[in-house]
Amino acid sequence: MQQEFPPAARPAMEGLDGSLVRLIFDEGQRLADVIGLWFGEPDAVTPAFIRDAAVRSLAEGETFYSSNFGISPLRQAIATYQSGLGRRSAFERVCVTASGVNAITIACQALLDSGDRVVLPEPFWPNLGGIPRILGAELATVPLHLDAGAAWSMDLDRLLAALTPQTRLVILNSPGNPTGWSLTRDEQAVLLAHCRRLGIWILADDVYERVYYEGDAAPSFLDLATDEDRVVSINSFSKAWAMTGWRLGWITAPPALMSTLGKLSEYNTSCVPVFVQKAGIAALEQGEAFVTATTRRYRAMRDLAATRLAAIPGVHAPVPRGAMYAFFTVAGCTDSLALARRLLHEARVGLAPGRGFGPAGEGCLRLCFAVGEERLESALSRLTDTLTRRAA
């Protein structure tokens, strides 16, 4: 008798969560007049000088395969850019990737075996927890908290206690999505020394390093790490240069890891399109004024969102030090997905449910303020009306 084998993914995938942000987005596509502040995405089109570089590359017929590590001019441009920020960087330590997500995937594939222990502060961007789980790693989280009600912060001693000798990797997204939490340089120095002693790898998600409101760039482990340290930095062109749809990122890693990263690049995507890489060169070499102006605009939108949200009864909106999100609490909310759906249908504003960023995010909502002032004002007015009625 022939045995039946129903089509199914491997059992470990059954517990993999879908994106609640995408769920709200998909639901919102069926409604009219929705202001979508759900994704972590600027509403500005990529600057013309970046788009023009890609167009020129295509016009010149640059449509062929390239190196697994990325074309040399882009790798050098990244190294020069990072060195200009005071980061320890070199051409030989840079691997270009097909997005920041792809960079995280490749780095985790290089470092993690099934059963390895990974530590991650929570709330966290879902991909940071999902990718290690897909690889069979065991995830341990350390919750962030509201420091005297003012901002999201980490109890450093609690994080250090979680970084045991059994830990293989700690993932640190600073400035962080969704909370805007940011490590100080002193905290990074303490963490690096601790991880050196125990042989723990640090995966630093630096995607928001230029979307930082207390300086030109957020502190980075690359400022402190040597070539021998177990520190891998992930970065992306998506946020600072308004290039979310281009899917272009990079890894900065110790020299000893580079050969492995090149092989994994081959097995994941082979290479990044040359015309996309040429756009990246233009962004790095010509985009500093754009980055500065963008961060200045986001700071103004951050302050606007914090002020308006704080005036709503029952809402507490910490002011983030970095990134592009207001991650705020709503009194009495025990089901952030239900509340996000209510706001979608009643206020016609699309927000991300806090539960989508881990259990520690329940009771919160995430609002992306990387939008124009008029659009943000309209969304905040709608939220004020609906949440005020809810609190009454």
Is the domain of 218 the same as that of 297?
Answer: no
Helix (H) or strand (E) holding 118: strand 117-122
3-state secondary structure of 183: coil
Task: Identify whether residues 275 and 133 lie together within a single domain.
Answer: yes
Looking at 238, 265, 286, the residue that finishes a domain is 286
59 and 38 inside one domain: no
Q: Give the model's pLDDT for residue 369.
A: 98
How far are the Cα atoms of 147, 348, 354 from residue 334, in angstroms, in the given order? 21, 21, 10
**Average confidence score pLDDT of the chain:** 95
Q: Check whether residue 109 and residue 24 sit in a common domain.
A: no
**Residues 275, 370 share a domain:** no
pLDDT at residue number 87 = 92
- Give the pLDDT of residue 151: 83
Please report, for the domain that includes residue 180, its CATH number: 3.40.640.10
pLDDT at position 308: 97
For 58-84, b where at least 16 C-beta lie within 10 A, e where not — what string?
Answer: eeeebeeebbbbbbeebbbbbbebbee
Same domain, residue pair 377 and 233: no
Question: Contact, 192 vs 156, CB < 8 A?
Answer: no
> How many domains does the chain divide into?
2
Tokens of 107: 């780095």
262 plus 336 within the same structural domain: no
The answer to whether 309 and 326 have CB atoms below 8 angstroms apart is yes
Give the span between the Cα atoms of 106 and 261, in whole angstroms: 7
From residue 2, give the alpha-carbon distance in Å to each of 7, 9, 259.
Answer: 15, 21, 46
Q: How far apart are CA 116 and CA 99, in angstroms?
A: 25
Distance in angstroms (rounded) separating the CA atoms of residues 269 and 262: 11
- Does the pLDDT value for residue 96 go beyond 90? yes
| Domain contains 62 | yes
Residue 25 and residue 73 share a domain: no
- Which domain covers residue 265, as residue numbers? 48-286
> Do 274 and 315 fall into the same domain?
no
Whether residue 14 is predicted with pLDDT greater than 90 in this model: the reply is no
**For range 223-239, the mean pLDDT:** 96
Domain end among 237, 252, 286: 286
Residue 7 CB partners (closer than 8 Å, separation 6+): none
Contacting residues for 267 by C-beta, under 8 A, at least 6 apart: none
**Tens digit of each residue's pLDDT (9 = 90 or more) over 297-322:** 999 999 999 999 999 999 999 999 99
Give the per-residue pLDDT at 148.
Answer: 63
Q: Please tell me the predicted confidence (pLDDT) of residue 1.
A: 59
Please report the pLDDT score of residue 7 as a whole number.
79
pTM of this structure: 0.95
pLDDT on residue 241: 97
Express each pLDDT in 183-224 by its tens digit.
Answer: 999 999 999 999 999 999 999 999 999 999 999 999 999 999
Query: Rounded distance, CA 46 to CA 131, Å?
Result: 28
pLDDT of 12: 79
Note the pLDDT of residue 2: 66
| pLDDT value at residue 149 | 60
Interval 227-231 mean pLDDT: 96
pLDDT at 20 exceeding the cut of 80: yes
The predicted-structure confidence for 31-63, as pLDDT tens digits, reads as follows: 999 999 999 999 899 999 999 999 999 999 999
Query: What separation, in Å, do the N-terminal and C-terminal C-alpha atoms of the chain show?
Result: 66
In a domain, 3, yes or no: no
Query: What is the per-residue pLDDT across 331-373, written as a single tens digit (0 to 9) for each?
Result: 999 999 999 999 999 999 999 999 999 999 999 999 999 999 9
Residue where one domain finishes, among candidates 236, 260, 286: 286
38: in domain: yes
- pLDDT-above-70 percentage for the chain: 98
Q: What is the mean pLDDT of the segment spanning 123-127?
A: 96
Which amino acid is residue 87, in one-letter code?
R
Nearest to 70 by CA among 272, 227, 329: 272
- In percent, the amount of the chain with pLDDT more than 90 equals 91
In a domain, 109, yes or no: yes
* Alpha carbon distance 326, 4 (integer Å): 50
Q: Shortest CA distance to 139 belongs to which of 165, 169, 125, 119?
A: 119
Could you report the per-residue pLDDT of 150-195, keeping only the tens digit for each?
Answer: 789 999 999 999 999 999 999 999 999 999 999 999 999 999 999 9
- Quick one: 98 and 137 in the same domain? yes
